[in-house]
Structure 1
């Protein structure tokens, strides 16, 4: 199987520590990080992804806000620069220990955080990155 992620969720998962919008959201995110830790590949998608799934049945899911595709484009550009290859819809990636370490280092240094501007979770992500990603649900395989 493959985990479907929007480009900005590729960054969000780096600091996920079990906090989120709803209990259902967290349960789903826990399952996704477990799948990734066990070695499943990632496919970048445009629009709502596996992380968004529990929110799509709510009255006004933010997944459809105009700002989200902008955030995805900024994240895709940052990840493209990090990986030195174009990252867009359909791009596939394996998140092995070396790649995860590379992503975390770039995130902690701020080089992949353009997409994070204005995000309500930024303060938490800053703290997690500053703490060496301690307690994150996604671990190195």
Structure 2
């Protein structure tokens, strides 16, 4: 199987420590991270993905707002520059330990954090990165 991810979730995964918008969201996120930890590949998608799924039943899911799409564009550019190739919907990626380490180094240095500007989770993610990514689930 393949985990469907929007581009900015490539960054969110780096600092995920089990906190989220709701218990259902966190439980689902844990399942997605488990699948990735077992070696499932990533398929980049445009719009809501496997992480967003529990949010889509809300009256106005933030996953559908323009800001989320803007974050995707910024993350795709930054991660693509890091990987040396474009990252866009339809691309498949493997998140092996070496690529995760490289992505975390870039995240810590700020190289791939433009998509995080204005995100309500930015402070937590910054603290996780500053702490060496301890207790992350992936």
Q: Same fold (TM over 0.5)?
A: yes
Establish whether residue 7 from structure 1 lines up as the match of residue 24 from structure 2. no
| Residue number in structure 1 paired with 2:110 | 110
SS of equivalent to 2:74: helix
Gaps in structure 1 of 5+ consecutive residues: none
| Residue number in structure 2 paired with 1:54 | 54
| Residue number in structure 2 paired with 1:81 | 81
Shift of residue 68, structure 1, vs aligned partner: 1.1
Cα distance in 2 for partners of 1:132, 1:36 equals 20
| Residue number in structure 2 paired with 1:24 | 24
Cα distance in 2 for partners of 1:51, 1:93 equals 16
Alignment: residue pair count: 138
Q: TM-score, normalised by structure 1?
A: 0.97
Shift of residue 59, structure 1, vs aligned partner: 1.1
Alignment of 1:115-134 (within 5 A): 115-134=115-134
Cα distance in 2 for partners of 1:6, 1:83 equals 16
Q: CA RMSD in A?
A: 0.5
Cα distance in 2 for partners of 1:19, 1:45 equals 23
**Can you list the C-alpha shifts for 1:13-58, whole angstroms capped at 9, x where unaligned?**
1000000000000000000111101100001100100000000011
| Residue number in structure 1 paired with 2:44 | 44
Q: TM-score, normalised by structure 2?
A: 0.99
**Can you list the C-alpha shifts for 1:86-123, whole angstroms capped at 9, x where unaligned?**
10001110111111100110001110000000000000
Gaps in structure 2 of 5+ consecutive residues: none
Cα distance in 2 for partners of 1:127, 1:70 equals 23
